[in-house]
């Protein structure tokens, strides 16, 4: 069982401290790393079971203009985190878009401001075949604080964990 004096308790304390310090440090650092917002146009081609490009990169504040085409069947494009859902039909440049609970609109391109940093998956939202649930792509809006913070936390766990084990072993050796 867990007692306040047990190594397991001390290890848990170390882990919490290391995680908090590294995440806060990297989070604070990355908030000052924004670039200058611009405008980016991306032509997205959907086919069973992939989007091309599969990864869209942007900086926070960029205005993205997305145009769509489908090579085979009707596909969806649901952008997580931004709640944008697009229906793309083959041989048609015009798409249907719904933002959140808003009305369905017919547009030739979908524009939005990438104002949330991080990684957001876009997924096909219209059943298009066997692998449909796995038809995904990624919008990566920099700075990716979660990746930076969690990577630093992983490194912190390694260094902090070994340092903790080293000091504990030293105390046990000397006693």
Partner 1 sequence: MTRTPPAAGRGLDLLATLRPLRWLAHQRWFPLAVVAPMLLVFSALLVTGFVGTPVGNRNGLVVAVWILWWFLLIAVLVPVAGRAWCAACPIPIFGDWLQRGTLLGVRLRSGAPGESGATLGRNRYSGLGRRWPRALSNLWLQTAGFLLLAAFSAVLLTSPLATALTLAAMLVAATVLAAVFRQRSFCRYLCPVGGFLGLYSMPAPLAVRARDAAVCASCRDKGCVAGNERGWGCPWLVHPSRLDRNNSCGLCLECLRTCPHGNMSVFLRAPLSDRRLAGYDEAWKAFVMLALALAYSAVYLGPWGALKDAANVAEARDWSPFLAYAGALALGALVVLPAAFLGAAWLGRRLTSIQSSPRGLFLAGASALVPFGLLAWIAFSVPLVFGNGSYVLAAASDPLGSGWDLFGTAGLPWTPVLPQWIPWLQAALVLAGQAAAFWTGWMESRSLLGATRRAVIGFAPTAMLITGATWTLLWLYTG
Which residues of the chain form contacts with partner 1 (CB under 8 A)? 1-2, 8, 11, 15, 19, 47, 49-52, 54-55, 78, 80-81, 116, 118-121, 123, 125, 127, 129-138, 140, 144, 146-147, 150-151, 153-155, 157-158, 161-162, 165-166, 168-170, 172-173
Query: What is the nearest approach in angstroms of partner 1 to the Cβ of residue 34?
Result: 18
Q: How far apart are CA 175 and CA 161, in angstroms?
A: 21
Smaller CB distance to partner 1: residue 74 or 108?
74
Q: How far apart are CA 110 and CA 94, in angstroms?
A: 10
Query: What is the nearest approach in angstroms of partner 1 to the Cβ of residue 133?
Result: 5
Cα dihedral: 104, 105, 108, 112 (round 10): -80
* Beta carbons of 82 and 62 less than 8 angstroms apart: no
Smaller CB distance to partner 1: residue 39 or 52?
52
Smaller CB distance to partner 1: residue 3 or 39?
3
Spatial strand order in the sheet of 95-99: 55-59, 136-142, 118-123, 75-79, 84-88, 95-99, 104-107
Q: How far apart are CA 31 and CA 54, in angstroms?
A: 26
Query: What is the nearest approach in angstroms of partner 1 to the Cβ of residue 121?
Result: 7
Smaller CB distance to partner 1: residue 102 or 108?
102
Q: How far apart are CA 163 and CA 155, in angstroms?
A: 12
Of all helices (H) and strands (E), which one includes residue 67?
strand 63-70
Smaller CB distance to partner 1: residue 31 or 108?
31
Can you give the length of the chain in residues?
175
Query: What is the nearest approach in angstroms of partner 1 to the Cβ of residue 165?
Result: 5
Query: What is the nearest approach in angstroms of partner 1 to the Cβ of residue 110?
Result: 18
């Amino acid at each position: 069982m867990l007692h306040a004096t047990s190594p397991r308790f001390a290890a848990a304390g170390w882990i919490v401290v290391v995680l908090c310090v590294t995440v806060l440090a990297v989070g604070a650092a990355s908030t000052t790393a924004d670039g200058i917002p611009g405008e980016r146009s991306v032509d997205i081609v959907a086919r069973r079971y992939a989007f091309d490009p599969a990864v869209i990169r942007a900086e926070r504040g960029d205005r993205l203009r997305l145009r769509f085409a489908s090579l085979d069947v009707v596909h969806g494009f649901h952008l997580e985190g931004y709640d944008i859902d697009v229906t793309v039909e083959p041989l048609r440049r015009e798409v249907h878009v719904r933002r959140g609970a808003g009305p369905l609109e017919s547009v030739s391109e979908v524009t939005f401001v990438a104002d949330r940093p991080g990684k957001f998956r876009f997924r096909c939202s219209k059943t298009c075949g066997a692998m449909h649930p796995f038809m995904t792509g990624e919008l990566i809006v920099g700075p990716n604080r979660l990746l930076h913070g969690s990577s630093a936390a992983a490194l912190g766990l390694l260094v902090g964990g070994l340092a903790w084990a080293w000091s504990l072993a030293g105390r046990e050796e000397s006693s």
